Amino acid sequence: MNSLAKPVSKLPDVGTTIFTVMSALANEQGALNLSQGFPDFDGPEALLQAVNSHMRNGQNQYPPMAGVAALRQAIAAKVLDLYGLACDFDTELTVTAGATEALFCAITAVVHAGDEVIVLDPAYDSYDPVIRLQGGVPVHIPLQAPQYRIDWDRIEAAITANTRLLILNSPHNPTGMVMDEDDIAALSALCAKNDIYLIGDEVYEHMVFDHAQHLSLCAYEDLYARSFVISSFGKTYHVTGWKVGYCIAPPALTTEFRRVHQYVTFTVNTPVQLGIAEFLQHHPEHHQRLPGFYQTKRDLFCELLKGSRFTVSPSQGTYFQLLGFAAISAESDTALARRWTCEQGIASIPISVFYQNPDTCRHRALRFCFAKDDDTLAKAADILCRL
């Protein structure tokens, strides 16, 4: 047989992402979909109008490779305001096709064959395959369930002469863990002793609850000097399908980042960038209100589940809530998520899939997305309380 017919896979052990699998199953079964993380409400009207008017006004050709200047300026102003970092929009800020592209470019920019990259499990599912595509070696270290705090001693013990990069995600998907000042102090101490790069996956930066603060790697000079800080407008503006995000990094890191970015997507569609720039300038109240907006949803969802048999420890951040099901079923989380989608009409995400070895996931929990209208949350809770 022709040897071209079946390529030798670079990722032979990788299937279709759990988000695609569970959303497809939810659609097929007509189930309430609280699996893949996306809102069931639309983005702000003023933003939709701004994008529409730029499209109508002929802003439909290639923008600059690094992103529309007005958007990069608006992001730089926001980052200065929120985190005190005066970054140069020309040399330190790149607009990307969602955070996913930014993660790919940042990892590709610094990871050489044989380099080790520390990833904390449960980990967002794109990190590991992208590291391996570069010939890198992912080194998975578990967060400590059930609070999912970072085990800094274990990270320190895992660092070798080959460690190139540490990927941090706060607020954390899927657990809702939010890094605190102690974490930042431990990270600073670690970085003072080791030449490693950092990726701050901060896509849920505006979803932090109970008066806690999001501590961005941008806000600390020693950390920012070695960091790629990544965010996503999909999350902040309820428009996950637009796939627009950005990466902030010091000039030398941004240069390497753009060497990759220019050949991955080159740039990101013009009217959406212009629309977001306009909205960012005129509606800062949107992101200022976001923690309260999502905290209200989290509280509603948790309150509605009070009569259920799930174990609920309210999420500290993100728009995800873990629900422990040990008192309800002895099945694996993957089997249960599928069965409840088909039989109970509610879809969730099993968390064991975010572990390098799913068998090491001891916390029997499913992840539910609460970025939903209140009546969707009520319908979901109704089903969950009967289980």
Total binding residues for ligand PMP by CB under 6 A?
14
The answer to the question of residue 152 lying near ligand GLN (CB under 6 A) is no
Q: Dmax over Cα atoms in the chain, in whole Å?
A: 63
- Identified binder of ligand PMP from the candidate list 66, 87, 99, 165, rule CB under 6 A: 99
CB under 5 to 8 A by kind: which of ligand PMP, ligand GLN, none does 200 bind? none
The residue sitting closest to ligand PMP, measured at its beta carbon, is 98
Contact segment (CB under 6 A) with ligand PMP among 93-101, 180-188, 289-297, 324-332 equals: 93-101
Q: Is 245 in the site for ligand PMP (CB under 6 A)?
A: yes
Cα 81 from Cα 75, distance rounded (Å):
10
Question: Do the Cβ atoms of 237 and 43 come closer than 8 Å?
Answer: yes
* Residue of 98, 138, 142, 271 that binds ligand PMP (CB under 6 A): 98
Footprint (CB under 6 A) of ligand PMP, residues 254-313: none
- Residue 128 binds what, of ligand PMP, ligand GLN, none (CB under 5 to 8 Å, by partner type)? none
Query: Does 334 contact ligand GLN by CB under 6 A?
Result: no
CB proximity list for 237: less than 8 A, separation 6 or greater: 43, 44, 47, 276, 279, 286
Rounded Cα distance between 78 and 290, Å, is 15
Yes or no: say if 172 and 319 are a contact pair by the CB < 8 Å rule: no
Name which of 386, 347, 374 is nearest 19 in CA terms.
347
> What track of x and - describes contact with ligand GLN for positions 156 through 175 (by CB under 6 A)?
-----------------x--
- Report what 36 binds from ligand PMP, ligand GLN, none; CB cut-off 5-8 Å by kind: ligand GLN
36 binds ligand GLN (CB under 6 A): yes
What is the per-residue DSSP string for 116-142? EEEEEES--TTHHHHHHHTT-EEEEEE
Do 239 and 275 form a contact (C-beta atoms < 8 A)?
no
Can you say how many angstroms the Cα of residue 289 is from the centroid of all Cα atoms in its chain? Answer: 20
For residue 199, how many C-alpha atoms fall within 13 Å in the half-sphere facing its CB? 31
Please select the residue that binds ligand GLN; options are 26, 33, 34, 37, rule is CB under 6 A. Answer: 37
Q: Does 236 bind ligand GLN (CB under 6 A)?
A: no
Among 23, 35, 173, 308, binds ligand PMP (CB under 6 A): 173
DSSP string for 145-209 = TTTTB--HHHHHHH--TTEEEEEEESSPTTT-----HHHHHHHHHHHHHS--EEEEE-TTTT-B-
Residue ranges that bind ligand PMP, judged by CB under 6 A: 37, 98-100, 124, 169, 173, 201, 203, 232, 234, 240, 243, 245
Residue ranges that bind ligand GLN, judged by CB under 6 A: 17, 19, 36-37, 173
